[in-house]
Structure 1
């Protein structure tokens, strides 16, 4: 266990980017390689030690006395914007991919302390957003350099799970989050702020906070498992360097989210599963307030990105082809968080993808080690602006587009 803690600390301190970019809004669709292979379905399953990220109770169902799971995901998003009908000459196509791809690590450890008590630790990126426009959409308004934002989030969840009997387990997780943010090339928005000196090009700022997770997993029968989990809102420190950009003087809290799931073992080799998740973007002012909310940028009720809370629906299948070889597939769909009249500001944060499809596999190298792979495609989605560019920016419309691909590789060792 001490080795795991040392490795966890090394990852946390190394500055590795945990920016998962836009998936379901800006929440990642899955927190482990195995879950990625089923489009994120995980609430009623026990894929690996990282299951605690979606349901703290799940680690009680792991078969090994103790296990370590590690993974790396290559993530390549494609984001762009098209502006038309603008009176200030900014019509055109803008490519937001000057930062092209990202590597995202993950790490989980779980141990059975007794027949009833298990504990674990999970490190994962639960979201993020990055855009990088070499051709600045706001240049005609006085912006300088490339434009974009970069949000990176690292979550560390320590978990205790208790198996009451053969049917029911409860889990409790304590989560620490470290997020960092940087904005550049958006100087013209300083005129809309209560503090124009803290809107753009202020370097990297960090914020931390604590939250809790609760989870339940229960066997309805020998073949049907149910699960439910809740993650509290996490009130983090404000981004002081960007107190003029985000509402509540730089506030950027992590929204509350909760999930429910079912897994049905149709035959011993075949499992069908589904999840539902709610993400409360609408409860965080800096995310939910609209650009013309009324207050200036940075104010307590200041302008924001105009995102709505969303529901996410996931279905997946897992099939044991033969001993030591498991195949997975999944599909997910989420509500659209970005309103059509809010696309102008969301050129910086085009989290518009609604559909994901995934494939995955696990191969057992021996009794103690296996490797997993997963591929996910986020289908191209465009939100066409309607009344989206304010008159003081010349009017017209901004259409924002995104699609993405990711390839993940994972390793599990049981000992």
Structure 2
């Protein structure tokens, strides 16, 4: 077993299965400071340590961060209406079913070293993903007592940042990607697959990929900062155990994203931030192909989750009460990536969040720059209801609510 595979398994073993995402399968932000401000911070160097703008790391100095995130999701689907009895339909059992997954723990790590006055090197480890487990045979698969999915991404991002002058910096990151995918309860669809033995119930499968991120951070005029990042599509090896389910014979690349934001210092104690983020789910056919595609499962034009590209608007603020205490708050919203026509397949991935409220704080500890950070996120219950494409007499309602608490220590 190579070192990268071992690292992936060790990191995943720390995760209790749950829904682990807010913007599709992406978190609202990375790092406790960013999350406390609604996921903003691409134009604020202090948020750059974990997964954000690599251009900000040259301003951090030597710094380390360890964090732990607890997520408390409530995930369910509700089938409304009795089966039509029409030949060729696939009805579902009427009633509401709630996922057994109630808790997730996710660790994150970040480190930064100042190489000289103009450059720095850093690295962080962080993840995205989704998972739920319904205690029923949702799709009537007799080979599994549950219907469940687990999908995690882990990023390792060695980064180099360079200060062009006192007001402008750039940064580059290599995005090393590890993924784990497992699904059960889907063998009902094996007859529609290009590889019937590789649809469901084959255990965890790993894949690895690579991409890149580039970032810019600059002070355009006194107290007004602009930041931007672009992350390329991360091309990944295929998930062979599920080549009969996922489009393009098990392909699951990570889509490209871009973010642009501003950070304005209203006073020496108070700042306001605004970010816009675009997630290009349409680049990945396993995610973007519609369920009623013309191809077989696993084929290039085979069924997927039918997700659309997602634009997220984020607002945040920070108030420095005194030298040892900072308070934060934020709000983010964006149209959910799931199309209403795709509720049938998205029972497995009900990513229907559309807004998030956050608060956060940092309390200094001692005189060495050490600090404890906290962020609390609430994504209110949001439901999506539409007719089942597999039986017109039934409607399917998806619902997801999430509380998240993150604590970290900076030293």
Asked if Structure 1 and Structure 2 have the same fold, meaning a TM-score greater than 0.5 normalized by the shorter chain, the answer is yes
Contact 1:76–1:406 under 8 Å retained in 2: yes
SS in 1 for 2:244: coil
- Which residue does the alignment assign to 2:345? 345
Alpha-carbon deviation of 1:54? 2.0
TM-score for the superposition, normalised by structure 2: 0.93
Task: Indicate yes or no: 2:77 matched with 1:81.
Answer: yes
Distance 1:89 1:211, change over 3 A: closer
Q: Show structure 2 runs of 5+ residues with no match.
A: 85-90
Q: Distance in 1 between matches of 2:328 and 2:143?
A: 47
Answer yes or no: is 1:215 the counterpart of 2:215.
Answer: yes
- Aligned residue pairs, count: 397
Q: Any conservation in 2 of the 1:49–1:69 contact (CA below 8 Å)? A: no
Question: Who is 1:195 aligned against?
Answer: 195
Distance in 1 between residues matched to 2:65 and 2:48, nearest whole Å: 6
Across the aligned residues of Structure 1 and Structure 2, the Cα RMSD in angstroms comes to 1.8
1:72 matched to 2:68: yes
- Distance (whole Å) between structure 2 residues aligned to residue 354 and residue 288 of structure 1: 18
* Number of the residue aligned with 2:136: 135
**Cα contact 1:382–1:399 (8 A) shared by 2:** yes
TM-fit CA distance, 1:61:
2.2
Q: Which residue of 2 aligns with 1:321?
A: 321
Hey, what's the Cα distance between the residues in 2 that align with 1:263 and 1:43? Answer: 8
1:196 is displaced (CA, Å) by 1.6
Match of 1:28 in 2: 27
Secondary structure, aligned partner of 1:385: strand
Tell me how far apart the structure 2 counterparts of residues 202 and 99 of structure 1 sit (CA, whole Å). 21
Task: Give the match for residue 3 of structure 1.
Answer: none
Task: Give the drift of 1:389.
Answer: 2.8
User: Do 2:42 and 2:48's aligned partners in 1 also have CA atoms closer than 8 Å?
Assistant: no
**Following TM superposition, by how much is the alpha carbon of 1:398 offset from its aligned partner in structure 2, in angstroms?**
1.1
Task: Compute the displacement of 1:142 (Å).
Answer: 4.5
> Secondary structure of 1:220's match?
strand
Aligned partners of 2:263 and 2:407: how far apart in 1? Answer: 24
Report the counterpart of residue 366 of structure 1 in structure 2. 366
Deviation of 1:397 after TM superposition, in Å, equals 1.9
Distance 1:22 1:350 in 2: 10
Which residue, 10, 14, 17 being the options, matches 2:15? Answer: 17
Distance 1:28 1:20 in 2: 11
The correspondence of residues 164-313 of structure 1 with structure 2, limited to 5 A, is 164-313=164-313
Query: Which residue does 1:95 correspond to in 2?
Result: 98
Q: Post-superposition shift, 1:89?
A: 5.8
Distance in 1, matches of 2:257 and 2:401, equals 24
Aligned CA distance change for structure 1 residues 89 and 224 (closer, same or farther; 3 Å)? closer
Distance change (3 Å), C-alpha of 1:131 and 1:121:
same
Cα displacement (A) at 1:271: 0.5
User: What is the distance in 2 between the residues matched to 1:29 and 1:179?
Assistant: 19
From 112, 135, 152, the counterpart of 1:110: 112
Name the CA distance, whole Å, in 1 between partners of 2:309 and 2:146. Answer: 30
In the TM superposition, residue 17 of structure 1 has moved relative to its aligned partner by 2.8
Superposed CA offset, 1:49-91 (max 9, x none): 524x2211011222xx301011000011111001123334611
Q: 1:157 to 1:55 in 2, by over 3 A?
A: same
Task: Compute the displacement of 1:192 (Å).
Answer: 2.2
Residue 367 of structure 1 and its aligned partner are, at CA, apart by 2.5
Give the drift of 1:333.
0.4
- CA displacement 1:345-404 (0-9 Å, x = unmatched): 000000010100000000001222110111100111111113x3324xx75221111010
CA contact (8 A) 2:238 2:251 kept: yes
Q: Can you list the C-alpha shifts for 1:210-237, whole angstroms capped at 9, x where unaligned?
A: 1100000010112011000000001101
CA spacing shift, 1:263–1:20, aligned 2, 3 Å: farther
CA contact (8 A) 1:344 1:397 kept: no
- Whole-Å separation in 2 of the counterparts to 1:192 and 1:33: 44
Structure 1 unaligned blocks of 5 or more? 1-5
Aligned to 1:111, what secondary structure does the other structure show?
A: strand
Write the distance in 2 (CA, Å) between the matches of 1:41 and 1:335. 17
> Is the 2:65–2:410 Cα contact (8 Å) retained in structure 1?
yes
Contact 1:48 1:69 in 2 (8 A): no
Q: C-alpha separation between the residues in 1 aligned to 2:177 and 2:11? A: 15
Q: Secondary structure at the match of 2:152?
A: strand
